[in-house]
Structure formats: structure tokens, C-alpha cells
Structure 1
Amino acid sequence: MPERNHEFGKFGARGTRGSDLVATRLDTLVDFITTPVTTPRGLLARLRYLTTSPRTRKAAHAAGLTVTDRTLKAWLAGTRSPSKANLERIEQAYRTVRRHNVARHLLKRLNSSGGTRVEIHPLNQSQVPQPHQRALEYRRINVRRWDPIVTAWATGDSHALDTAWTTGILPDLGSQWGQYEYVTNIGFAA
């Protein structure tokens, strides 16, 4: 079994850690609010999402949005505007709460019918000298165990997500799984 990559890119290979691409793909499946938080419409949409119920307010507070109810009311009414730091906190709290809220539904979709087919595109070796290039190919795998991946993604734990992807999924590719730790793209749908 190959070891994990310790000096990725030493000979010029380019790619991204597979777990980061999985997190990005899961984010695209979530349908976040597309209007930026810096616009009045985007700010109001996020604040409404975070303050519609006591449960979402509690989750937003736990996610880092620790302002008073008076301040929240002023932001919702448009009489005061949040600072740049608070805009970042609002965006982060919104994404955290939204991930948590859709994780169960997303997990159900990904695990249905025996799992989800994932296509893995190998790393880019165009800058690697010929003697050091590997023979890589596109790989497809059916992922049946999405629970640790979605849980780590929903909590924002990139280390746990990397561990779940690299040691839980990639070994199913066979003895060459270490060659797919860094890739150019990972695609799947739910």
C-alpha cells in the first residue's frame, strides 16, 4: 500500500487535495444564498435565515454570531449596518447553520440506492519531467459510506474530512490509492 504524499509537487505536479474538492462539491449542492452579504438584500436574507426561530438563533450564536437582540433588530430594520468583521461573522454563521440544516437531507440523498458514483480526475503532470511521470487514469468509485464525510463537512472539520476521504474512501481504489490523494477534479451529484 502506498504511503500518503509528504512532498506533493516536488517534481512539478499540480492538483488539489481530494477532500478539499469534496467539500467544495458538497457546498455547491447546498444552494447557499447567492447574493453577497455586503448587499442589503444578501444581508437581510442571511439575517432572516439566522433569526427565524429560537433554534436557528441558538445555532447562529454557537457558530459565532454573538450580538445582542437589539443589534440584530437594528440590522433587520436597516437602521444600522454591521461592521466588516460582523459581516464576516454573519456569513460564517449562515454557512455553518445552513450546512448543519441540510446535512441530514444531503446524507440521505448521497446514501440512497447503494451510494453515489464519484468520478476522480487525476492530478496534472504536464510540468513533471518524463522520467518522474506516473501512468494515471480517470477513476470512478461508488461511495457507500457518506456519513463521516458529510458529518465532518457539516461541522467544518477539514482534518476529519481529509481523514474520512483519504483513509475511508480512497483505499477502495486498490493498491494505487495514494496516487489520487491530490487530484484536479472530483465530480458527483446527489
Structure 2
Amino acid sequence: MPERTIDFGKFGARGIKGSEAVARKLDYLADGIVTPVTVKRGLMARLHYLTRTDHSRKAARDAGLTVTDRTLKAWLDEKRRPSNANLERIDAAYRRVRRRNVARHLLRRLNAGGGTRVEIHPLNQSQVPRPLQRVVEYRTMNVRRWDRIVEAWASGDQQGLDDAWEDVIVDLGSQWGQYEYVTNIGFAA
């Protein structure tokens, strides 16, 4: 059974960790507000999402948005504009809270009907010298249990997500190590 890749890219291969590609796809599926936080409309939409109820305010504080209620009110009334650092905090808090809010819904959709078909696009070896290239091909598989993957993604646990994804790709057989790094992973929910 292959070990984890220790020195990825040494010979010119390019790609990202499979767990990172899964996280990007889940972020895409969970994305709600597409207007940037730097635009008034995007800022206001995020602030309303984070302050709509007491529960959402608590979740925003837990996610790192630790400003006073007075400051939040000034932002919502457009009397003051957040600094760039606070804009980043607002966006990060929105993403964390959004992940938690949609995780249960995504999990139900991904597990429905016996799982979700996943397309794995192999790493890019165009810069690797010909004698050192591996034979790696496009693969598909059906992921039946998304619980650990979605849980790690929703909580922002990158190591947990990496471990959960590794447990899934082991089902590819003895060549699973060739798919630890990929160019893209696609699935629909």
C-alpha cells in the first residue's frame, strides 16, 4: 500500500491535495452571497446574514466576529464603514457560519440515493520528464458516506478532512496514492 506523498512536485508535477479540491467544491456548493464583501451590497448581505437572529449573532461571535453591538449597528446603519481587517473578519465569519448552516442539507443531498458519483482528474505531469511520468488516468467512483468529510469541512478541520478523504480514495485500490494530489475533483449535489 503506498505511503503519503512526501515530496510532491519534486520532478515538476502540479496539482492540489484531493481533500483541498473537495473543500473547494463543497464551498462552491454552499456559496450563497457572490458579491464581494468590499462592495456595499455584499457587505450588507453578509452583515444581515450574521445579525438576523440571536443564534446567528452568537455563531458570528464564535466564528471570530468580535465587535461590539454598537459597532455592528453603525455598520448596518451605514454610519461607519468597517476597516479592511474587519471586512476580512466579516467575510471569514460569514463563510464559517454558512458552512455550518448548510452542512446538514449538503450531507443529506450527497448521501441520497446511495451516495454521489465523484470524478477525479489526475495531477498535471506535463512538466515532468518523460521517463519519470506515471501512468495516471481520470477515475470515477461512488462515495457512499460523506459524514466525516462534510463534518470536517464544516468545522474547518483540514487535517480531519485530509484523513477522511484518504479513507475514501483507498477504495481506488492499490493505486490510491496516485490520486492524493489532483488537478480537480468534481461532483454534483
Coarse TM-score class (shorter-chain normalised): over 0.9
Q: Whole-Å Cα distance in 2 between the matches of residues 33 and 61 of structure 1?
A: 20
For residue 148 of structure 1, what is the aligned residue in structure 2? 148
Pairing 1:83-162 to 2, within 5 Å after superposition: 83-162=83-162
For residue 182 of structure 2, what is the aligned residue in structure 1? 183
Q: Whole-Å Cα distance in 1 between the matches of residues 98 and 185 of structure 2?
A: 23
Secondary structure in 1 matching 2:184? strand
Amino acid at match of 2:81: S
What does the per-residue CA deviation read over 1:86-138, in whole Å, with 9 as the maximum and x for residues that have no partner? Answer: 11110010000000000000000000000000000111111111221111111
Between stretches 128-137 and 70-79, larger displacement belongs to 128-137
Q: Whole-Å Cα distance in 1 between the matches of residues 173 and 138 of structure 2?
A: 14
Q: Whole-Å Cα distance in 1 between the matches of residues 112 and 173 of structure 2?
A: 24
Secondary structure in 2 matching 1:41? helix
Indicate if the aligned counterparts of 1:32 and 1:95 stay in contact, CA closer than 8 A.
Answer: no
Between stretches 173-182 and 130-139, larger displacement belongs to 130-139
Indicate if the aligned counterparts of 1:35 and 1:41 stay in contact, CA closer than 8 A.
Answer: yes
For residue 172 of structure 1, what is the aligned residue in structure 2? 171
Indicate if the aligned counterparts of 1:15 and 1:183 stay in contact, CA closer than 8 A.
Answer: yes
Q: Give the superposition deviation at 1:31.
A: 2.8
Amino acid at match of 2:155: T
Amino acid at match of 2:134: R
What does the per-residue CA deviation read over 1:53-104, in whole Å, with 9 as the maximum and x for residues that have no partner? Answer: 1100000000010111111111000001111111111001000000000000
Q: Whole-Å Cα distance in 1 between the matches of residues 23 and 108 of structure 2?
A: 17
Q: Whole-Å Cα distance in 2 between the matches of residues 182 and 66 of structure 1?
A: 37
Q: Give the superposition deviation at 1:173.
A: 0.2
Secondary structure in 2 matching 1:64? coil
In structure 1, the gaps of 5 or more residues are: none
Q: Which runs of at least 4 in structure 1 moved beyond 3 Å after TM superposition? A: none
Q: Whole-Å Cα distance in 2 between the matches of residues 185 and 145 of structure 1?
A: 20
Paired residues in the alignment total: 189
TM-score after normalising by structure 1: 0.98
For residue 20 of structure 1, what is the aligned residue in structure 2? 20
RMSD over aligned CA atoms reads 0.7
Residue 69 (structure 1) aligned with residue 37 (structure 2)? no
Indicate if the aligned counterparts of 1:119 and 1:141 stay in contact, CA closer than 8 A.
Answer: yes
Q: Whole-Å Cα distance in 2 between the matches of residues 80 and 179 of structure 1?
A: 52
Q: Percent identity?
A: 71
Q: Whole-Å Cα distance in 1 between the matches of residues 88 and 44 of structure 2?
A: 14
TM-score after normalising by structure 2: 0.98
Q: Whole-Å Cα distance in 1 between the matches of residues 147 and 127 of structure 2?
A: 37
Indicate if the aligned counterparts of 1:123 and 1:184 stay in contact, CA closer than 8 A.
Answer: yes
Q: Whole-Å Cα distance in 2 between the matches of residues 120 and 45 of structure 1?
A: 35
Q: Whole-Å Cα distance in 2 between the matches of residues 189 and 142 of structure 1?
A: 12
Q: Whole-Å Cα distance in 2 between the matches of residues 135 and 41 of structure 1?
A: 48
